[in-house]
Structure 1
């Protein structure tokens, strides 16, 4: 059996025992109601939203509790906004967290190999199947990383655990592949909506980052989940993500031009941030000799040293961002904080701490916007953008560059401010940033990490089904073979006209020796003393069992052949099957049409 046709271990692990026995599934009546009625899917999405809001509120509360206990700060005080933390705690708490995470990585990460796909990867490759065990590990690691002061956001843990519960619910409902992917997107929408008190941003985050497409059929479930999660956290937390002070800069030609400048700055800086994370990861992996463990400790020590300079680099940065927005900081303070926060985030992620760049990108973007406003207000006080407007434009632009979700960021700006002027500027800044990053870099942070791991994933679009169609699943094994040294006269007798189309040749050692077409065999006039080997074509053209349908189509285009053989491996080259171009194209077109039907029609 080929690798592409074997059940994926991640899918198997995430499905658990739900497919093993019907007793692990929800009742048949409920499953049929959800599968056949759109209102059923919407109700499930609302349940997912309620659960996501509860999970986000719980994780957030646990993080604040960890900060209060470990750093000896008041419970309601954000870690990055706390100005009084002893140097011992600033330095030693991250190291203690690194030791714990290193032990988890050494003793447990190997047991979860193949089960650590996030929502984007699961939707792209595994049809929305997310491992619950792996997701719990990722969420715990994220909570520990943030709780012990690492400069990472909790959004990775939020989306991971919410997507995992959504996937498990969908699997228990025996949901179709498209519906399961949609439910995973509902979980992510609920997570982001609850985290930022922004249901629209959460919904479009799901469309742009997790689902990869917007359809009218998916709109109501995703919105229902996002709103339900928002209502839960609004009732439990009673706090707004961010308050933007000041009177917004009115829309004008000068204002649009300046937010374009902010967008350009943030686009280049977002690329710099992503490269910095990759550089930190490579460097720390290169200088450490203990497998994973020492890398955590070295990174934590470096983070602690940065925390001694300013506590704003610790944690996700919510509190520091709010304080910087209302305190009118100097350009030197802003520039220093930008550099230190960037270094802290890159070191934290490079050292192996779990978390995301969502929160950090918002903080860095707002500070870049403020820095632009502060620097320009010196020589041109009447022309410069109001700091709040510049901060929101920078936040949206940098968030777009890192996440690759411009409309989600625009919705976040609208929900934070409720102001058209700021939102109009945010649209321009996000558009400019998205265009530059896409043109010069081509990746968001998530897909960039996939690229570094060797995964050819450029987004959450469902490409997993392509990998499931391999040469081993397309080939037929009822083909005629003959020795390459067989004479043409004997072959003409053994294989009369009309009975076969091709003959696959075998060399003396049993390996593949080429293909002879039946019309060419019977049309040959000098058949007395010549062998089949003289008529062989495509001697070096063959397919391996694991090759996917896309590569098969490419191989047909390159070889200009109608039929190709499948061999067991590249060394032995024993023929195990035959694949025709017509069958491949027909199968590919049928599957593609089926997936399009799933996306656009429920």
Structure 2
């Protein structure tokens, strides 16, 4: 039973080692020591990250608005999805030209950045918070181009990517420890979401739930500091107004809570449908061989333009359309049609290769689900049905939680966007129901689901990269005892008296691995006769390779039920290079776990 190292383990190790190379320069030692040894130093760095994040988000936001105004001939500052009249020529040509430009970038540049396109979640899970700046700039540019040409994707992917990348670069200049590096990346992501929605609490909890993977007292102040700093900068530079909920919110009552639970269930199921739709779209584009490469952008752009000809609300991330639909009291047919078309547009955009996220789109889709529920139920039960604004917020929180996998972030977002506690109570119930159902039925958020489709064993941003960076080559002993497999038992008893060795690694006439024999096994034979060590050898097909990770080593020991495994160079030559004991592997794994826990909760 051989244990072959997973192919991604080598890739992870290679990417980590590449990104671990020291940068061209570092900040002075006095500054590095101050940040490393004093909590206030890390907080000050987080504030700098927050200020920079707010500035970067404002720049990208203005660039997107300028692109929409220029390319679609709409007033600057108005939301693309809220413009009811856009010349059909622009609806057709702009996404098509944008798709062609992205195709050129994909063909000539993306392959050059292979292994450098990890986002904040993947970087924190596998690479200890190390993010490539060049790869992040490419991702942010692709996201801006995708959104600017009208693709049904959000800018949050670009916001988070570039802010986290700058945070990671600053951490490298400070020679930050692995735990501090991951925390700084979380600070960048918190600043990005805080500035994008002008919601500092939502940004902070987004960092804890989606990027860091845990809430800790040690990380609270830096993350909050970054989030608030980014929020202040964004308010000064953009003055955004995100959501106005019309009408009088429904009072908190038993009827309200019951209906909110129903909306939470509907939102959870719909969020699963959205994620499956994106996965289906990606597979459909990949399976059609004629569409491989640049042509898929063209076909995706044409499909998107066809949907936009029916309603421009499918263009862009959907902020303006969501607000417009909340204020215009639409019919159930309009809501249902917009819901289906927006879902299709988002799935087509992402499947065709446009860069972006589902965060912004999920908020619009969730608001449509809640508003549709209220619009359908209102005429039937006018005295009981939820007010449309309350139902829309509950649906927004439910679908956002299902897609994002961050219930507290969505609850805080509802509170900060509406400023109404009674509405937020509904959001708490909807988020709880959605999180439970999606976790039970689906098991993934959108980000971790996409990792699963790529073959990555990532279920969240928790730091698991260190596990795959400890290999058999780093744990094996090279001072093992060997013997010829043809050696007689009598000779072996004379050459290796009791107590001198515990195990003998057997080699055949050509020096290849031929099994393992324990010392008690050949000493317990009183009359060995002409028998050789090969006759009692075990573990002929049980061995490890130098690149086998500690996770796979533990699994191998469980399956083989032995306390020592041999490490060979490759399956063809079978040259023994070392031995690994189960006790040593368990001790190393336990020590590393304790070390990570200490880094997580204490500085």
TM-score normalised by the shorter chain: which range applies? Answer: over 0.9
CA offset digits 1:354-405 (Å, max 9, x no partner): 0000000000000000000000001111111000000000000000000000
Equivalences for residues 525-544 of structure 1 within 5 A: 525-544=526-545
User: Aligned partners of 2:181, 2:554: CA distance in 1, in Å?
Assistant: 29
Name the CA distance, whole Å, in 1 between partners of 2:446 and 2:240: 28
> Could you tell me how far apart the structure 2 residues matched to 1:223 and 1:341 are?
34
The answer to whether the Cα contact below 8 Å between 2:124 and 2:182 also exists between their aligned partners in 1 is yes
Q: What is the deviation of 1:586?
A: 0.7
Alignment of 1:127-142 (within 5 A): 127-142=128-143
Change over 3 Å in CA distance of 1:13–1:535 after alignment to 2: closer
Which of 15, 18, 26 aligns to 1:10? It is 15
Question: Does the CA contact (< 8 Å) of 1:115 and 1:134 recur in 2?
Answer: yes
What does residue range 324-403 of structure 1 map to in structure 2 within 5 Å? 324-403=325-404
Residues 288 and 295 of structure 1 are in contact (CA less than 8 Å); yes or no, is this contact kept in structure 2?
no
Cross-structure match for 1:69: 70
Whether the aligned pair in 2 keeps the contact of 1:514 and 1:538 (CA below 8 Å) is yes
Deviations 1:443-464 (A, max 9, x none): 0000000000000000000001
Corresponding residue of 1:554: 555
- Pairwise CA distance, 1:549: 1.3
Which residue number corresponds to residue 490 of structure 2? 489
> For residues 245 and 218 of structure 2, what CA distance do their matches in structure 1 show?
35
SS in 2 for 1:362: helix
Question: How far apart are the structure 1 equivalents of 2:567 and 2:374?
Answer: 63
Map of 1:30-109 to 2, 5 A cutoff? 30-109=31-110
Per-residue deviation, 1:552: 1.3
Deviations 1:471-499 (A, max 9, x none): 12111111111221221122223323322
Residue 276 of structure 2 aligns with which residue? 275
Question: Post-superposition shift, 1:8?
Answer: 3.6
Distance 2:511 2:373 in 1: 71
- Please say if residues 194 and 201 of structure 2, whose CA atoms lie closer than 8 Å, have aligned partners that are also in contact: yes
- The separation in 2 between residues aligned to 1:13 and 1:246, in whole angstroms, is 55
Deviation string 1:21-57 (CA, Å, 9 cap, x unpaired) is 6xx0000000000000000000000000000000000
Number of matched pairs: 597
Distance 2:555 2:12 in 1: 25
Deviation at 1:9, TM superposition (A): 4.1
SS in 2 for 1:537: coil
Residue 553 of structure 1, CA deviation: 1.4
Once the two structures are TM-superposed, the CA of residue 231 in structure 1 deviates from its matched residue by 0.2
Cα deviation, residue 290, structure 1: 5.4
Distance 1:562 1:181 in 2: 35
CA distance in 2: counterparts of 1:350 and 1:395, whole angstroms: 23
Distance 1:198 1:7 in 2: 35
- Report the Cα offset of residue 292 of structure 1: 1.9
Distance of 2:139 and 2:17 partners within structure 1: 18
1:461 counterpart SS class: coil
Kept after mapping to 1: 8 A contact 2:285/2:292: no
Q: Distance in 1 between matches of 2:563 and 2:249?
A: 65
CA distance in 1, matches of 2:566, 2:85: 71
Q: Give the aligned partner of residue 211 of structure 2.
A: 210
Structure 1 Cα separation of the partners of residues 280 and 414 of structure 2: 31
Residues 303 and 357 from structure 1, CA distance in 2 versus in 1: closer, same or farther, beyond 3 angstroms? Answer: same
CA shift, 1:556, in A, is 1.2
Q: Which moved more, 1:282-291 or 1:73-82?
A: 282-291
Q: 1:477/1:14 Cα in 2 relative to 1: closer, same or farther (>3 Å)?
A: closer
CA distance in 1, matches of 2:11, 2:274: 38
CA distance in 2, matches of 1:211, 1:278: 25
In 1, distance between residues paired with 2:193 and 2:496? 66
Kindly state the Cα deviation for residue 14 of structure 1 after the two structures are TM-superposed: 4.0
Aligned to 1:432: 433
Aligned partners of 2:471 and 2:211: how far apart in 1? 26
Tell me the residue number matched to 2:520.
Answer: 519
Q: Equivalents in 2 of 1:81, 1:569: separation in Å?
A: 62
1:572: Cα distance to partner?
3.5
Q: CA deviation at 1:601?
A: 0.7
**Distance apart, 1:573 and its partner CA:** 2.8
Deviation at 1:500, TM superposition (A): 1.4
Segment drifting more, 575-584 vs 122-131: 575-584
- Is the contact between residue 394 and residue 426 of structure 2 (CA under 8 Å) also seen in structure 1? yes
CA distance in 1 between partners of 2:543 and 2:207 (Å)? 41
- Normalised by the length of structure 1, the TM-score is 0.97
How much does 1:214 deviate? Answer: 0.3
Structure 1 residues 508 and 281, CA gap change in structure 2 (3 angstroms): same
Alpha-carbon separation, structure 1, partners of 2:560 and 2:20: 40
Inter-partner Cα distance in structure 2 for 1:6 and 1:429: 40
CA contact (8 A) 1:5 1:469 kept: no
Contact 2:285 2:296 in 1 (8 A): yes
Preserved CA contact (<8 Å) 2:119 2:131: yes
Paired residues of 1:414 and 1:422 also in contact (CA < 8 A): yes
Separation in 2, partners of 1:6, 1:245: 51
